[in-house]
């Protein structure tokens, strides 16, 4: 167990300031990531200002975090130390409810957002459940990868849901 160094706001609509916290023992299903880059999204700003009434302070934003795996809990599958990974909006789900078992983990009643009730990626390290930690290809520039884990997924998910083919022509409105 070692101190995590981060940037946090102590109250809504306040500036981020250096902040340190002890993460506790690494959970059996958790991955600890050395954060190299972290994007910022409007959701981070909404949480920072407590616009949705669910922010907890001190608040460490950052749900578009990328980096490398530092440590693995004993139940972690398919990831390895040193691997390039990223974490988006979600950081935890139960993995046993109907929603989780049907591939709709984002609808799990006990899911946890990366920055909802936990500290996000504006830190030197971040922890998340292994199922929400996504491997990133070596060819992908980590400095540009973070937004793919939030806005990129938001735009891409409907393509899968509605079975849009790779040769289809589409227009996307409202990005930016």
How would residue 160 be classed by pLDDT, with cut points 50, 70 and 90?
A: confident
**SS3 state at 23:** coil
**How does DSSP classify residue 100?**
H
Nearest to 75 by CA among 137, 30, 14: 30
Output the pTM of the full model. Answer: 0.89
How would residue 1 be classed by pLDDT, with cut points 50, 70 and 90?
A: low
Q: Is residue 8 part of a domain?
A: yes
Q: Is residue 75 part of a domain?
A: yes
Q: Is residue 176 part of a domain?
A: no
Is the CB of residue 12 less than 8 Å from the CB of residue 29?
Answer: no
How would residue 36 be classed by pLDDT, with cut points 50, 70 and 90?
A: very high
Q: Which of 16-25, 43-52, 65-74, 160-169 has the lowest mean pLDDT?
A: 160-169
Q: How far is CA 160 from the centre of its chain?
A: 21
Q: Is residue 166 part of a domain?
A: no
Number of domains in the chain: 1
The answer, yes or no, to whether residue 172 has pLDDT greater than 80, is no
The per-residue pLDDT for 155 is 79
CATH number at residue 59: 3.90.180.10
**SS3 state at 143:** helix
Round to whole Å and give the CA distance between 93 and 156.
21
Range of the domain at 50: 4-161
Q: Which of 87-108 are b and which e, b meaning 16 or more Cβ less than 10 Å from the residue's Cβ?
A: bbbbbbbeeebebbeeeebeeb
| Residue 21 bridge partners (DSSP) | 4
Q: Is residue 33 part of a domain?
A: yes
Q: Is residue 21 part of a domain?
A: yes
71 phi/psi in degrees, rounded to 5:
-150, 155
Q: Is residue 86 part of a domain?
A: yes
Q: Is residue 175 part of a domain?
A: no
């Amino acid at each position: 167990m070692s101190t995590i160094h981060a940037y946090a706001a102590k109250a809504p609509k306040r500036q981020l300031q250096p902040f340190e916290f002890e993460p506790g023992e690494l959970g059996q299903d958790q991955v600890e990531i050395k954060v190299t880059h972290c994007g910022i999204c409007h959701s981070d700003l909404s949480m920072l200002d407590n616009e949705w009434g669910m922010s907890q302070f001190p608040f460490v934003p950052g749900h578009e975090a990328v980096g490398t795996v530092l440590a693995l809990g004993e139940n972690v599958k398919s990831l390895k130390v040193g691997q390039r990974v990223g974490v988006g909006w979600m950081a935890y789900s139960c993995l046993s409810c109907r929603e989780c078992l049907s591939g709709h983990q984002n609808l799990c009643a006990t899911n946890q957002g990366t920055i909802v009730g936990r500290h996000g990626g504006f830190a030197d390290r971040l922890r998340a459940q292994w199922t929400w930690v996504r491997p990133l290809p070596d060819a992908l520039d980590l400095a540009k990868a973070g937004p793919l884990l939030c806005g990129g997924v938001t735009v891409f998910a409907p393509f899968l849901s509605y079975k849009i083919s790779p040769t289809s022509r589409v227009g996307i409105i409202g990005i930016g």
